[in-house]
Amino acid sequence: MTDTRVLIIDDDRAMRSSLVDLIEAAGWTAKALARATEVPRWVAQFSPDVILSDVRMPDMSGLDLLRSLDDAPPVVLISAHGDIPTAVEAMNNGAYSFVEKPFDPKRLLLILRHASDQHRMRQSNDRLKTRLREVTGLDRHLLGQTPDMQRLRDMIALLADSEASVLITGETGTGKDLTARALHDLSGRGDRPFVAVNAAQINAEQLPHIAQSANGGTLFLDEICACPAPLQPTLLRLIDAGEVLAQGQGVPDQVTLRVVSATNEDTEQAVADGRLRADLLYRLSGFTLSLPPLRARLDDVPMLALRFLQDSAAAQDVPVPELTEADLTTLIAHDWPGNLRELRNVADRRVFLARQGGGTMADALASDATQAPTRPGLREAVAAFERQMIAKAIQAHAGRMDDAAEALGIGRRTLNEKIVKLGLDKDALL
């Protein structure tokens, strides 16, 4: 069993001794302090999994101790009956739990175990996130500081080593292929093959060869909702049994691989339309990662645009064009139907225009002959601004719509109407 380390703070010598005996009898390691002011030094030296502290001490209260610790392990407080309001306030400020004197030793140990488990899980997650950044550079390639992007990077780190299938959903250009590649690179299969195919363009006869080439690694099936009907039973057999049977072959071959799929369509609608088997969708979607469209994270557009300009300028060996206030206004006002792919293309065109001696982001957008003309007018700019303001208000008030409406200075009904009109997904913001 992994050793659990408990840092005890209590100015009562007898209580300290009793708690140390209890902790060590459970097979854990304890360090006891008489003064709370010593805690920061011992957190660094002792690396506790949980801190157990009395609420009332002469040099610093348990509440003050809690406020003084940054990124510390969970704190469990011991309180006398009269200290209950203080202990409750401490929990509201981040304490893990509290026990009231006289306490049940078994209950205290159970609380400490749960707190320690939570701390270890958080440390494990942090290590995964660090490994994610080191191995795949997702902070660079899946750039963004909005909550949706932070959650996406965290989920990729957590799912990478899982053997479960993953379905990636999102509009065209949101980075589904990059996400699939990150899941592979960060996993234990990272040094094995990563085979990406368009599910709409292969047939049942080709699948055995494709699966063999991905054996030991990851098979990425893009556009899964467009998978031909005759291919779907063969694909289902591959996922369920790890078997592929080549044409004219009597005995199936066994393969070991992870299947990651992606689509920009509504999977439930594809099942309802009879284009995608329900049992196949069930097998493919062990976990689902939903990538946000760029218009839902406009706060990320400036840093994304700058990064794409830097990449493009480096590739073309020219100075990076400056992003002016007018450029930023143009970028924020645009709806980005092509998402990241469109923004990267616009950045490429902006750098090309700079090589010719001029140009702005508006010029780069207007020069895209493959899309409808952009309209960076007042109405679109106001709509973009409203989306950001409403999203931030909903997030700031944790989804409490009455409070969000009040903060925005509008009625609840008006807020609901604007959410629908602007295409915001309230649940996705929380």
Residue 140 has pLDDT above 90, yes or no: no
Q: Tokens for 409, please give them.
A: 């200075």
Segment among 172-186, 281-295, 347-361, 410-424 with least mean pLDDT:
410-424
CB 150 within 8 A of CB 133: no
How far CA 317 is from CA of 84, 237, 320, 416, in Å, comes to 66, 50, 9, 49
Q: At what angle do helices 325-333 and 378-396 cross, to 10 degrees?
A: 80
Position 339 confidence tier, pLDDT thresholds 50, 70, 90: very high
Picking from 342, 55, 58, the residue whose alpha carbon sits closest to that of residue 172 is 342
- Find how far residue 217's CA is from the centre of its chain: 23
Picking from 144, 148, 151, 92, the residue whose alpha carbon sits closest to that of residue 125 is 151
Residue 132 has pLDDT above 50, yes or no: no
Measured distance CA(88)–CA(86) in Å, rounded: 5
pLDDT, mean of residues 167-175: 94
Segment among 35-44, 181-190, 374-383 with least mean pLDDT:
374-383
pLDDT, mean of residues 143-157: 87
Picking from 175, 415, 336, the residue whose alpha carbon sits closest to that of residue 426 is 415
pLDDT, mean of residues 179-184: 92
CB 61 within 8 A of CB 20: no
pLDDT, mean of residues 42-59: 86
CB 39 within 8 A of CB 62: no
Position 137 confidence tier, pLDDT thresholds 50, 70, 90: low
Q: Which amino acid is at 291?
A: L
Position 191 confidence tier, pLDDT thresholds 50, 70, 90: confident
The string of pLDDT tens digits covering residues 247-283 is 666 677 888 899 999 999 999 999 999 999 999 999 9
Q: Which amino acid is at 6?
A: V
For residue 257, what is the enclosing H or E element?
A: none
Q: Tokens for 218, please give them.
A: 């990851």
CB 253 within 8 A of CB 296: no
Residue 163 has pLDDT above 50, yes or no: yes
Picking from 261, 265, 322, the residue whose alpha carbon sits closest to that of residue 286 is 261
Measured distance CA(75)–CA(14) in Å, rounded: 21
- pLDDT value at residue 429: 64
What residue ranges define each of the domains in the chain, with the CATH number in brackets? 5-124 (3.40.50.2300), 141-290 (3.40.50.300), 294-366 (1.10.8.60), 378-429 (1.10.10)
Measured distance CA(395)–CA(417) in Å, rounded: 18
The string of pLDDT tens digits covering residues 55-67 is 877 777 777 887 7
pLDDT, mean of residues 76-86: 74
- pTM value is 0.55
